[in-house]
């Protein structure tokens, strides 16, 4: 009987230890990583969805800026081709994604600079509305990336820092997730205000 109580006590202590040390928090945080990455992608998609209307509006006023318009269209195509599965994040895939988004940001920046040469375009209500939406989307991208970075940090701490790393090594065996990095071209925010 005493042996039974001791085993029960040990099982209870082990259950409390596992519960307090990540048995739930690791999977929950992994789910949050996936949700936050989906939001990052959602905001980038919102930006790419604005581009065709923006290009069409600019084209109506600045059709001889063909090279700039084609650059934006090409960068948009490249950015939309890179898909990342949040359950299988890799540093290389994140770099490719970041590089493509940086090229798109640079192309959009050039497009906005071109629009400076066309006063009628700058006064066009469609252009002004698209410019405002693009500016808001850039802010949303920044917020979504920040949220994702914090969640990755939390997840990486859970899988590498004592005592949750012990639970992880025995039950889950998750590796650290790569952190979102920003391409050099993306460190310069495109100017979207006039």
Let me know if residue 161 belongs to a domain: yes
DSSP category for residue 69: H
Let me know if residue 193 belongs to a domain: no
Let me know if residue 176 belongs to a domain: yes
CA dist 46 and 175 (Å) reads 31
Let me know if residue 167 belongs to a domain: yes
Is the pLDDT assigned to residue 180 strictly greater than 70?
Answer: yes
The tokens describing 44, both together, are 């980038």
Q: How confident is the model at residue 114 (pLDDT cuts 50, 70, 90)?
A: confident
pLDDT tens, position by position, 154-171: 999 999 998 888 888 888
Count the domains in the chain. Answer: 1
User: How many angstroms from the chain centroid is the CA of residue 55?
Assistant: 24
Percentage of the chain surpassing pLDDT 90?
32
Question: Which pLDDT score, from 0 to 100, does residue 194 have?
Answer: 40
For residue 164, give its domain range: 2-187
pLDDT tens, position by position, 82-109: 888 877 778 888 888 888 998 999 998 8
Q: Higher confidence at residue 161 or residue 14?
A: 161
Please state which of the ranges 39-43, 145-149, 178-182 shows the lowest mean pLDDT: 178-182
Is the pLDDT assigned to residue 192 strictly greater than 60?
Answer: no
Let me know if residue 141 belongs to a domain: yes
Long-range (24+ apart) CB contacts under 8 A made by 99-102 are 99/183, 99/185, 100/75, 101/44, 101/183, 101/186, 102/182, 102/183, 102/184, 102/185, 102/186
pLDDT tens, position by position, 32-76: 999 999 999 999 999 999 999 888 888 888 777 888 888 888 999
Let me know if residue 57 belongs to a domain: yes
Q: Which residue spans within 28-142 are E strands per DSSP?
A: none
Q: How confident is the model at residue 111 (pLDDT cuts 50, 70, 90)?
A: confident
Is the pLDDT assigned to residue 18 strictly greater than 70?
Answer: no
Let me know if residue 194 belongs to a domain: no
Is the pLDDT assigned to residue 185 strictly greater than 70?
Answer: no
Let me know if residue 83 belongs to a domain: yes
Question: Which pLDDT score, from 0 to 100, does residue 158 have?
Answer: 93
Question: Which pLDDT score, from 0 to 100, does residue 162 have?
Answer: 86
Is the pLDDT assigned to residue 19 strictly greater than 80?
Answer: no
Is the pLDDT assigned to residue 136 strictly greater than 80?
Answer: yes
């Amino acid at each position: 009987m005493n042996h039974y109580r001791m085993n029960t006590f040990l099982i209870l202590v082990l259950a409390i230890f596992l519960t307090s040390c990540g048995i739930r928090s690791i999977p929950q945080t992994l789910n949050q990583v996936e949700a936050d990455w989906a939001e990052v992608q959602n905001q980038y998609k919102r930006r790419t969805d604005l581009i065709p209307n923006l290009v069409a509006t600019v084209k109506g006023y600045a059709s001889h800026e063909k090279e700039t318009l084609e650059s934006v269209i090409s960068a948009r195509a490249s950015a939309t081709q890179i898909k990342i599965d949040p359950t299988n994040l890799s540093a290389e895939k994140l770099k490719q994604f970041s590089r493509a988004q940086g090229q798109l940001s640079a192309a959009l920046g050039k497009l906005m600079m071109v629009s400076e040469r066309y006063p009628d375009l700058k006064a066009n209500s469609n252009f002004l509305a698209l410019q405002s939406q693009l500016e808001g989307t850039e802010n949303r991208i920044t917020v979504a990336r920040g949220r994702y970075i914090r969640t990755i940090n939390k997840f990486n701490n859970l899988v590498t820092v004592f005592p949750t790393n012990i639970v992880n090594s025995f039950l889950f065996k998750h590796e650290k997730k790569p952190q979102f990095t920003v391409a050099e071209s993306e460190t310069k925010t495109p100017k979207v205000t006039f």
